[in-house]
A and B are shown apart, each in its own frame.
Chain A
């Protein structure tokens, strides 16, 4: 109850910040013009890290055979679901147009925009979606296995699928940074660094939640100390390799957890909670400084988004916990779990391997489809997206085998039919896309457009407003932005403009081509023609050496 009230108290003001962020866009939060990413992305990385706790305690420790994992498994799994939902909301806020999120689905050229499967942002979307679905299925399997013991034999195979997937997800999140042009973000060691950071913050979160529920698991405290040493090694390496050093992070994230070595302090419940919170704060601060290393000029929206994250997590976690307590009372009863754990459990070997084969086949088909359609794709860069697809398919197949153990064929057929219909419906909606009413969404621009004449000055204004984000103010590409989303467009040159001709360039602007989206409806024919002239004038200037 206390967590719920605390959560509501933080969530309500946080919702105002979310509303502002969605209405005003990135200008509402502190954002660097060099990096484009602000607090929403820092919060996303932090919360997705916390979402690793459940899988770590439930799946990874199950696979590694830790005897005490069942004592915290459910708590951790619920925290994973809550943290994952919170984490997923931040990229939507960052996008500015949440309704367009489906553009990240790698669906080939179905909607005339070929989503680049070499982009880590697309990997991110697929990995998190797969992780969300697989971890939800895993927790359902775990809950139902309390009532139907025949399901228990599927838990370990499922854990073997989830184990690499959870590490993969945070590796992919680290690649968002590691493959960019921003020097501070480039780090070949980021995958491991991010994984350890995520596990550290996840362990700290579970420690806090366990303590708040009036229990104590010493092994979790030991893990907290262990991960503090692991993360220290990465911070030291950052200092040695890049000269990045933040003493406050070292104090909060490494020195404070060492207090748990002192048994007198360790026996105090409040001290244990504070140490865990200190670890989480250090990790959150570290991610913020990674995303935004310049001095922060915070707006109220930045603080509101932080409040929204914590509030939403507390509310979701308490509601999930209440729901589980009502529907599966055994799940949070430690004594009952202790008895259940003593049951001999088999490993569903055959369904596991069949599911793995299905997963591999799905990944192979996906790879063949993309490489077939765009042979220029560096196929190695498809690998990060292939594993989540394989894991998702394998988990769905394993769930099907598990369902067959408890439900009749007729019931399964019904469920599959409903899921199929739902899937087809969602796919249809994605294929159709959302309506864009230019008259409403671009009302300000069309008003301005009416006043504009196609002079060179006006064309420059349109160029800066509409084209410079990708093509650069001088026509020489905004490499930082473009490279993260699409393969690089053509560089500006007079010979290329002459070879294409003015009319065809005008058509490209109005109707789009390859990765470029159409601007018809947002600019007039006259303005498009003015833009082509402006483009040519820039190319001429470049030829003369005026533009570098």
Chain B
């Protein structure tokens, strides 16, 4: 998978994020919306990537985690709780995904686990609804995405 295609996956993941929690919606409708986006992510990865990419199996779910993280920037309330849960979900997906891949000989990438916990600083120690906080979080999540790229020669 080229780094350009990897960048496109980030864009595709981020596009629907503002709409996840924008309007009040019944739980099943929201689930359908998120589920549908995940299905599109899968289709996109299937078309754009190849099974040779080490994190191929993981990529749609990393995209989902990125979507959910970005979507918390648009939440009207309880942003701290959901931003931290979304970040933990991302760490969870990456850690256990890479751990299982490591048993197949794939290198374990440490950098996302150094960068992602940094997100807890703006989440808990900065004002949750200020633009500066949103900017900091966006930078940290973007950095984590870039560093999650499993480069293959």
Please report A residues at the B interface, Cβ cutoff 8 Å.
64-65, 164, 167, 171, 174-175, 178-179, 186-192, 219, 222-223, 225-227, 229-230, 232-233, 236-237, 240-241, 261, 380-381, 383-384
Contacts and interface: CB of A to CB of B under 8 A. Distances in A.
Contacts, number: 93
Interface string B25-38: 01110111011101
26 contacts: A171-B92, A175-B96, A178-B96, A179-B100, A186-B104, A188-B57, A188-B97, A188-B101, A192-B93, A219-B27, A222-B26, A222-B28, A223-B27, A226-B28, A226-B30, A226-B31, A229-B35, A229-B36, A233-B42, A237-B60, A240-B42, A240-B46, A241-B46, A380-B99, A381-B99, A383-B99
B55 interface: yes
A178 B31 CA distance: 26
Interface in B5-58: 26-28, 30-32, 34-36, 38-39, 42-43, 46, 51, 55-58
A431 B14 CA distance: 55
A369 to B, nearest CB: 21
B14 to A, nearest CB: 18
Nearest to A257: B28
Given A189-B58, A223-B27, A240-B43, 11 more contacts: A164-B88, A175-B100, A179-B100, A188-B98, A189-B57, A189-B60, A191-B97, A222-B28, A230-B38, A240-B46, A381-B99
A380 B35 contact: no
B77 to A, nearest CB: 11
Contacts of A229: 28, 31-32, 34-36
A244 to B, nearest CB: 13
A381 B51 CA distance: 25
Interface residues of B, number: 37
B35 A232 contact: yes
Nearest to A261: B28
A246 B100 CA distance: 25
A187 B96 CA distance: 10
B61 interface: yes
Nearest 6 A-B pairs (CB), nearest first?
A226-B31, A229-B35, A178-B100, A179-B103, A188-B97, A191-B96
